[in-house]
Structure formats: C-alpha cells, structure tokens
Structure 1
Amino acid sequence: MQLRTALAVILGCMLLVLSACGGANGNNAGKAAGGNSGGEQAEATAPNPASDEEQRNVKVVLDWSPNTNHTGLYVAKDQGYFAEEGLNVEILLPGSGGAEAMIASGEVPFGVSVQENVTQSRLQGVPLVSIAAIIQHNTSGFAAPVTKNIKSPKDFEGKAYGGWGSPVEEAIIKSIMDLQGADVGKVKFLNIGDADYFTAVKRDIDFAWIFYAWTGIEAELRGEPLDMLYVKDYSEQLDYYTPVLVTNEKTIMDDPELVKAFMRAVSKGYNYAMDHPDESAQILLKAVPDLDKDLVVASQTWLSPKYKDDAPRWGEQKREVWQNYSDWMHERGLLEKPLDVDAAFTNEFLPSE
C-alpha cells in the first residue's frame, strides 16, 4: 500500500471534530490497498453463538481500504471471537472526514489509526486514545525502483518525491538526509494524491513513502525490485507505532467493560493471524473478495510475525516509543507543545497472556 496518513484530513476537519465532541458530552506508510471511503460496510460473516438479544452491536472503522494490517479484526469476526464476547461487530470503511473524526465524535467507539495522527489530534484537543499497537515496529519507508539508484538518503538529492503534502513527509526526509550531510532543498516534492505508486514511479517521481507489507510485496510479485529505506533504520525516534487501534476518552470512561471485551476478541484475532497466516489470508479474502489473492497471501506471510515481534504480547505499547516520536515532532515544529504521553495511549485493556 502506498503510505497514506490522514494528517491533512485531520487538520482540515479539526474544528468540525471538536464541535462534534462538544455536542456529545465532550489515519502512513496511513496507508492501504485502494482508496474506498464513505462509511461503507467491509464485513466478514461470523458464527453467532448468542441470540440477537444477547449481542451488543458495535462498530469499528478502518483507516483505509481492507488489507493485512486489519486481518486480526476480520479473524475475530469470522472465528466468532467477537460473538463469544457478546458483540456483533460491524467493520466499516472511513467516511470522508477520516476514521479519527468518526471515533473522536463518538460516531463509532473503535477504529484504526496511526501514532502520528493520535499525537496531532490530542494536541488539537481531540480525545483519541491508542489501546493497542497493531504492528510492533514501523514497517514503512522510502521506496524506489532499483533503476533509480537510490541506495541511501544522500541519493534523494536531485530526485522527485511523490507524497500527499503533509509537513511530516518533508520533516522525516530532512531528518534522515541531515544525518548524511545531504541537502533536502535539492529534493523536488510533488503532491501525487491517490496516484498508483507503480504508475507514478514510471512517469512522475523517483521515490515515495510506502508500507513494505503491501506495496513492497506487490513489487516483488510484479517482478519490479525496490530499494527500500526503512525510516526506523535511521532514527530510534522514527520507530513509532503505525497502525494502532484507538478509541475515545468517553468510551473508556463510560464503558470500560466494552473496551475490555472488544480487546479480548481482537487480541485472539491477531494471535490467530500470527499463528495461521495462510488461514488468516483466506479469511480476509472471504470477507473482501475483490482483493488480489496472491498479494494478500504473500503480504500475510510477511506481516504475521511482525504483529507481535519482540513484544511480550500482541498490542503492547511502550511509553518511550510515544515519547520519542512526540519529542521528534516537537523538536521540528510539527507540534506547538509537548504531548501528554501518558494520556495518549494505554495497555490497560490488553488481556494478559
């Protein structure tokens, strides 16, 4: 997937979100296959051991179109883990305002975002809280066809970068170029919006920011090898959580048992996806049959071990990861003030293993 974050959307819609939150008692590499939006359903069929009267209807919104970042949600639905918790979960695609706006306003209690969006949102007074890291380490980076001969950030000089116009993009590129004494002023920045990565690098640009688990794997399947520069390899501060599961402060305060039940089921879903990548890929394909089968299977194989990686359990978040990235953003003028890190995330609702 080309790395898509919802930063621009968040900043553009922040006043609307804050207004919605007040009226209710008050996502890169965001990030995925395709570009569907509009709050549509994107569901899997699941066993339902409880009657409709016993089940509680709950919605969760994705950050982008369904992909292997989301597999654990579809597994939890398909395998009946949500139903076991008394939940009838509806998986939605984001509306035009983005997933964060839907979650913060209380339109839906849960959703998928990324650490940079939660950080930006909280500094704008938007009450999002991260409740799990879907992937432990940042799998995004700058990718270029090997024919472009981009082997290090120094090689960005004289090249064209294609992105979506977020200040974070140039800040990260400058940060890793500075480490090599390179000049970011020699990079041509182009806003390519939703343009297909493979088309853009043949026509308009030399490199872009992607998630390897999707676009990188697709490049392998196409026989179009990439040079991949993972941002985490250049700075510990850039090894942030992307994506994350989020809720809002009101849901945590008013209905903590719902959050616990939801997270018990989701944790089972991602643990299943870690242990059974082939079966999990088929579950995702069953729920979203328009996805490319070969890409889903290969992506799931690559990504499944990375959900938990070196963490003691799936979903675990470290305070220093949140502190490091927010410090990096503040140092570069992307945040007006430091983040209250302890309010931005919690491990409280993760089941013990």
Structure 2
Amino acid sequence: MGRFTRGKLSGRVIAALCGLSLVATSAACGASNDADSDTTPSISFMLDWTPNTNHVGVYAAQALGYYKDAGINVNVLPTAQAGAETSVENGVADVGFTTLSNVAAFNAQGASLRYVFDLTQKPVARWCALASRSDIRTPKDFDGKTFVSFGSAEQTAVIRQMIKSAGGKGDFQTATAGTNTFQTLSSGKGDFGGFYVTWENVESKLNGPALNCFVASDWGVPGNPDQLGFAVNSSWLKDAKNKKTLQTFITATIKGYDYALSHPDEAATLLVKQTKEANLDPKLAKSSMEEIVKGGYWTGEANKTSLTGKLNMAQGQSYLDFQYQAGTYKDSDNKNAQTAPQASSLATNAYVEH
C-alpha cells in the first residue's frame, strides 16, 4: 500500500509511480479487458494508491477472464492527484476504491457518493512504533510524541482516543510523512505512524524494521474504522444501464477475490505480473495474501475462502458517530457537520445481496 492515509497523492508521486496519463491502460497502473467493442458495456475503476493486494480481486478477475465472460470491459485507472473520490464525483472514473468514512467526509461537503461494496470485515490498520523504542509500550506512551501523519483529522481523532483510553492526555505532535513511513520513523523525525497489517506489517516481518503495534478497536475506538471498498456517484446510478453494469462488475470482482482467497500464491503472482511497472516484491505480495487468508480480514473468519462484500452497518455507524463527535466531518464552509453521517444512507448492500 505504500502509505496509510485517506488523502491525496502529490502529482510528483503519481508521475513517478505511474508515468502515465490518467486514462492509460498499461499493465503497470491501469489495465483493460481484451474485449473492446462499441456494444460491450464498459466500466472504469480507479485505485486509491499503487496496486497492492487490496486490489487483487480486480486484477484476478481481469487476468482470468471473469469480466470478459460476464460481458463487460473494465478499465483499471491509476489513482489521480485529486484522489479516487473526487474522480468518481467528477465522472473521471465510474468506481473508486475508498473507505466508508471517506464517503462520509466527501458527502458532508456536498458530494453524492455511494458505498456499494465492502472488502474488509476486520480492522486492518495498525498504529505502530519501532520495536526498538522501549519507551513506547502502550498507546498511552504516544502522549507527547510525534505522529507521522498525512494530515488526516480522522487519524488524529483515532490516535487521541487510543491515548486517552490507555490513560494518557491525548496530546501529540505531527510530522508530515514522506512516501515511506518506515524511513521517517527510522530517521527519528517521528515516533509512531499508521500501517496496514496486510501490507506494511508483512513487509516489516520480511525485511524489518520490527514494529510494536496497536489496534484502534482494542483502545476505545468503536466500530470498524477500516471499512475499505468501492464507491460510485449516486447520480451515475440513476441510469439503469449503469446499475446493471455495476452489478455485473461487482459479481465478477467478488469471484476474483474468492479466487485470491482460494489460490493466494497464484493470485499474488497474477497481481505482480499485471502491475510490472509498480515493481511489487513477489515475496511481499504472496506473504500479504497469506496474512489476509490466515487473518480472515476480508471474510471475518480465518481461512475462509469466500467473501460477501457486505458492509456491517452497525459497525460502520458506530465509527461514523465517533468521528462525528470528534468534529472530523466538515461541511463546504469548513464548519462541523450538523448531523452524524448515516451508514444506511451512505452505503448499500443491494449489489452483493442479489
């Protein structure tokens, strides 16, 4: 994943990683079906970051011909400088990889996004310091330290709650993260940061440095803070053809994710081959898939090989309420949202319950 944030990428990073225009369809940052005709329904899917195992279901469905068999053409787009959410809102992409909380934040400012597929059924974020830091043993020890951040109010609220739950005051400084949080921590410019257990934590185990990590839900943060999945523009769904294409896309994509859960090594290999310019480490990709299956992060159960794609509305609402109370969600005038976002309005399970 390369980072833990729910914000934008700089244009420089985008250019360096992709070296492509937004509509590129090379194997590195974008891919397209072989099927391509005026009569074949098409849908575009924008990544939230560089390709990684979070996206493996899409790449597996592409490589194994699931989209072609379903009769749709899928164009995978590299993430844009403005982010997947803005790109979906503006019609640059039909579907974007995002989080439920991001949808809430954008909609509070006037967007009309709809969350239509949820991948992660268990928290995947980890808040970590280097294991060599003997002065950090619980989140209370984050007090007075420097958080390596991407400037997210959402993250700030999570960290503050964790510190208070552990008996601290919730006071800390922030330092802007570079493209590699490991390097920022190792350089001494920060004391702790956010990682994904299915990617950076796997990388830590393979290559170091060792980390000492905490899960937000273990330290006073309610619900599931890490509901990652797909969103579309609500207005785009008003067209019956688009709704049908989305249904076909999600059904075939779930088939791709199920393949990845049943064949983790093979799926990791497909991901690496289809995203060559991303230079993914094959060992990291395979180890990541092994962690995903073993931990049941997509299914809720260890070693289960099929997912539902359903959003747990109750868990989502608990987390949205928490962030609302923390003042995370702002309206277009940068004032606190007047009411808490409602998971049942932001999201639907209709496309995974057919």
TM-score range, shorter chain: 0.7 to 0.9
RMSD of the TM alignment (CA)?
2.3
Q: Does 1:326 align with 2:310?
A: no
Render the CA deviation track for 1:115-143: whole Å, top value 9, x for unaligned.
Answer: 22111011112111111111111210211
- Percent of counterpart pairs with the same letter? 25
Partner of 1:293: 282
Which residue of 251, 254, 264 maps to 2:251?
Answer: 264
What is the identity, as a one-letter code, of the residue corresponding to 1:343? S
- SS of the residue corresponding to residue 132 of structure 2 reads helix
Q: Does 1:199 align with 2:183?
A: yes
- Name whichever structure is richer in helix by fraction: 1
Partner of 1:5: 5
Partner of 2:344: 342
The answer as to whether partners of 1:142 and 1:231 remain within 8 angstroms in 2 is yes
Render the CA deviation track for 1:276-309: whole Å, top value 9, x for unaligned.
Answer: 1011001101101221111111111112342112
Aligned length: 325
Cα distance in 1, alignment partners of residues 234 and 300 from structure 2? 28
Render the CA deviation track for 1:197-240: whole Å, top value 9, x for unaligned.
Answer: 22111111121011121111111111422111111222352523
- Unaligned runs of at least 5 residues, structure 1: 10-33
Which residue of 34, 57, 72 maps to 2:57?
Answer: 72
**Mean alpha-carbon deviation: is it higher for 73-82 or for 318-327?**
318-327
Partner of 1:20: none
Partner of 2:297: 306
Q: Does 1:161 align with 2:147?
A: yes
The answer as to whether partners of 1:62 and 1:94 remain within 8 angstroms in 2 is yes
5 Å-filtered alignment, 1:272-291, equals 272-289=259-276, 290-291=279-280
- Unaligned runs of at least 5 residues, structure 2: 10-15, 330-336
Normalised to the residue count of structure 1, the TM-score between the two structures is 0.85
Aligned in 2, Cα 1:2/1:188: closer, same or farther, shift over 3 Å?
farther
Partner of 1:180: 166
Cα distance in 1, alignment partners of residues 144 and 30 from structure 2? 45
Cα distance in 2, alignment partners of residues 124 and 189 from structure 1? 25
Cα distance in 1, alignment partners of residues 264 and 65 from structure 2? 18
Normalised to the residue count of structure 2, the TM-score between the two structures is 0.85
Cα distance in 2, alignment partners of residues 8 and 297 from structure 1? 27
The answer as to whether partners of 2:124 and 2:226 remain within 8 angstroms in 1 is no
Cα distance in 2, alignment partners of residues 158 and 147 from structure 1? 18
Cα distance in 1, alignment partners of residues 32 and 175 from structure 2? 41
Cα distance in 2, alignment partners of residues 51 and 172 from structure 1? 45
Q: Does 1:111 align with 2:96?
A: yes
In the TM superposition, what is the alpha-carbon distance from 1:45 to its structure 2 partner? 6.9
Q: Does 1:214 align with 2:199?
A: yes
In the TM superposition, what is the alpha-carbon distance from 1:35 to its structure 2 partner? 5.7
Cα distance in 2, alignment partners of residues 180 and 61 from structure 1? 38
Aligned in 2, Cα 1:217/1:246: closer, same or farther, shift over 3 Å?
same
The answer as to whether partners of 1:142 and 1:207 remain within 8 angstroms in 2 is yes
**Mean alpha-carbon deviation: is it higher for 309-318 or for 273-282?**
309-318
Cα distance in 1, alignment partners of residues 30 and 141 from structure 2? 43
- SS of the residue corresponding to residue 91 of structure 1 reads strand
What is the identity, as a one-letter code, of the residue corresponding to 1:306? Y
Cα distance in 2, alignment partners of residues 137 and 86 from structure 1? 32
5 Å-filtered alignment, 1:40-189, equals 40-41=24-25, 42-44=29-31, 52-149=37-134, 150-185=136-171, 187-189=172-174
Render the CA deviation track for 1:10-32: whole Å, top value 9, x for unaligned.
Answer: xxxxxxxxxxxxxxxxxxxxxxx
In the TM superposition, what is the alpha-carbon distance from 1:3 to its structure 2 partner? 4.0
Cα distance in 2, alignment partners of residues 326 and 342 from structure 1? 11
